[in-house]
């Protein structure tokens, strides 16, 4: 069944999210962000295969939870749309997903080290990030999530966490809103950079799980403050 048309304001916001992530150096020519359809929870919105910094509302496509186009388009799809489809399928609470290759995060996945909340802005990391090892799911691959099987394995590794590291690839963050998913992707990168710096100085006193939850409730309740700043930096998206 063809889903209803999404709210045009949501299409614009998703284009803005792409450009914010590019402006904040979380994505470059690669990476993507999606949002669950506002009128049909069994569908999600994701740009066509385009560099995030160039995405406009006209580039947004609609997919079902199998990663198939729900509305026909001649535009090329992202190969790794199954990251998004399988997470939405497994996590009804997730409203937005960001996949990126932000540079400071890569060493953690490659060494099997978790991101852990080093300051109050990254309380969403809770007790730490999850880790996805693609060899366990698909043997030797090009590390890309090319199908539903690999997407399902990634979603299982994510579990109830807000961030999963992908060895040799990048990370995926999730949230109950598009604004929060962008916030978390940005601060996962910031946390990674600070965690590396702190580890060079000595043992790190991370936030414990209760502190992380309290910090997240405080900072994420003000996400519009950061969103408005980031939005103001990117100008027109026409």
Tens place of pLDDT per residue across the chain (238 aa): 789 999 999 999 999 999 999 999 999 999 999 999 999 999 999 999 999 999 999 999 999 999 999 999 999 999 999 999 999 999 999 999 999 999 999 999 999 999 999 999 999 999 999 999 999 999 999 999 999 999 999 999 999 999 999 999 999 999 999 999 999 999 999 999 999 999 999 999 999 999 999 999 999 999 999 999 999 999 888 7
> With 0-12 CB in 10 A as exposed, 13-18 as middle and 19+ as buried, what is 48?
middle
CB 192 within 8 A of CB 125: no
Q: What are phi and psi of 47, to 5 degrees?
A: -60, 160
Can you tell me the distance from the alpha carbon of 130 to that of 109, in angstroms, rounded to the nearest whole number? 9
Cβ-contact 64, 43 below 8 angstroms: yes
Residue 220 is among the residues annotated as catalytic for this protein? no
| Catalytic pick among 42, 80, 133, 220 | 80
Query: What is the model's pLDDT at position 195?
Result: 98
């Amino acid at each position: 069944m063809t889903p209803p048309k999404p709210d045009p304001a949501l299409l614009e916001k998703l284009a803005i999210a792409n450009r914010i992530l590019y402006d904040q150096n979380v994505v470059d020519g690669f990476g993507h962000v999606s949002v669950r359809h506002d009128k049909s929870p069994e569908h999600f919105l994701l740009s066509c295969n385009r560099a995030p910094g160039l995405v406009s509302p006209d580039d947004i496509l609609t997919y079902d939870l199998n990663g198939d186009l729900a509305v026909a388009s001649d535009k090329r799809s992202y190969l790794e749309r199954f990251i998004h489809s399988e997470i939405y399928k497994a996590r009804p609470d997730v409203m937005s997903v960001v996949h990126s290759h932000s540079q400071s995060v890569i060493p953690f996945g490659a060494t099997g080290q978790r991101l852990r909340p080093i300051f109050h802005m990254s309380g969403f990391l809770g007790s730490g990030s999850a880790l996805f090892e693609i060899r366990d799911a698909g043997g030797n691959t090009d590390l890309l999530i090319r199908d539903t099987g690999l997407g399902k394995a990634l979603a299982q590794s994510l579990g109830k966490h807000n961030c999963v590291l992908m060895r040799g690839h990048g990370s995926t963050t999730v949230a109950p809103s598009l604004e929060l998913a962008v916030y978390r992707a940005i601060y996962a990168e910031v946390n990674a950079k600070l965690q590396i710096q702190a580890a060079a100085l000595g043992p790190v006193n991370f936030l414990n799980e209760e502190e992380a939850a309290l910090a997240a409730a405080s900072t994420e309740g003000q996400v519009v403050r950061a969103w408005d700043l980031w939005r103001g930096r990117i100008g027109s998206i026409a």
